[in-house]
Amino acid sequence: MPSYRYTARSSAGQNSTGTLVAETGAAAAAMLRSRGLHVVSINADGASKSFAEKFRELNAGKPSDKQILDFTTQLAVMIRAGINLRSAIDGIAQQTTHLGLKRVLDQVKSDVESGQSFSAALAKHPTLFNPLYLNMVKASEMSGGFSKMLDRIAEYMNQQIETRKMVVGASVYPAVIGVMAVGVTVFLLVAVLPKFASVFEGKEDVLPWSTTFLMSVSGFMIKYWMYLIMAVGGTIAGVVAFLRTEAGVFWFDRFRLAVPIVRTMFRSLYISRSLQTMGQLINAGVPMLDTLIITGEISGNIVFKTMWRNVHAAVKAGNKISKVLIKDSVLPPAVTQMISAGEESGKLGEVLDEVSAYYGKQLKENIKTATGMIEPLMILVMGGIVGFIAMSIILPIFKMSSIVK
């Protein structure tokens, strides 16, 4: 029989901790209540697990967004079928093959059995359930319609996952072409060009500047290859470290909104994500101030996050959302006008859903456009580099053969 570690409070207000052996967390909670104690928390005791089980759980990894989406969808179906929350969570936990997710669901089930609300149980796992998820669940607990709210959360998550796939997919091809261009260039300079060094030796006067330059670069790379690898590795590590700082995040987020080819794509992405998040929260009944904070956190860009923080401060002071957005150039004027119309009509949530859907379609078109422009550009750059190296090798050979004749 499993054991449970608990924290309970007596009628005098004193906390006590300990362990109980019971069939379920609910049974353990009932035992504590029979003693006149108020249950604060009750969790499965990890000491009852074998070392092998603990090791597998520690190395299970974080559940993916797709697995959280599947959990949400299954839970909505089971709740709609009339299964109580605890049994639904337990059933999903028993079926999942991901040990990390199973551990989280067991913890959530134990918390629900001990009397905590579902949203409070989920809040203990912020890396898996973001503020939007938690606030929408909390709103449904207050207003009812739990299964419908879970469906809305699942639909939102599915759209975000699909959007992320599109953006990542648009970035993969240029990255692959870029890596190939660098790899081919290094191969030609290190493996091919040195073989012509003996042919060109002593004939430096008749060699074009491009050949002389490439031979110098080739010699430098072969002689100092170890230092070059260290320098490249150090540069990459430095860039990664910088991008993790507040200044680095701010610079990179602004950079993405400034690059000519992809800025329209990223702008549509952040607008669609922000407005969709805001619309979902408003329709779920989440308070406006909380909605604005969550929207800024989920927007995914520091420029948009700053804008929503400014809107939050202004709304807190009694101003309208549109009044702040008009002064800011982050959102297009048309979007600001529609938000203003939504505020005036009292249908802001519906307006935001429509605008976010429009920008979702725009995002797909912008991704196709950006990809269509990047592909030939990358091919042209790669072809130019390889062609430059090839001509720098071939031209001197033709020149020397004409001199011999």
Domains in the chain, start-ordered, CATH in brackets?
1-48 (3.10.20), 178-405 (1.20.81.30)
Q: Give whole-number Cα distances, 53 to 46, 49, 83, 128, in Å.
A: 10, 6, 29, 22
pLDDT tens, residue by residue, 220-255: 988 898 999 999 999 999 999 999 898 898 999 999
pTM: 0.72
Residue 217 burial by Cβ neighbours in a 10 Å radius (0-12, 13-18, 19+)? middle
Question: What residue has token string 């609300």?
Answer: 117
* Angle made by CA atoms 57, 63, 67, in degrees to the nearest 5: 130
pLDDT tens, residue by residue, 125-143: 988 998 889 989 988 887 7
Give 338's pLDDT tier (boundaries 50, 70, 90).
very high
Give 322's pLDDT tier (boundaries 50, 70, 90).
confident
The DSSP call for residue 192 is: I
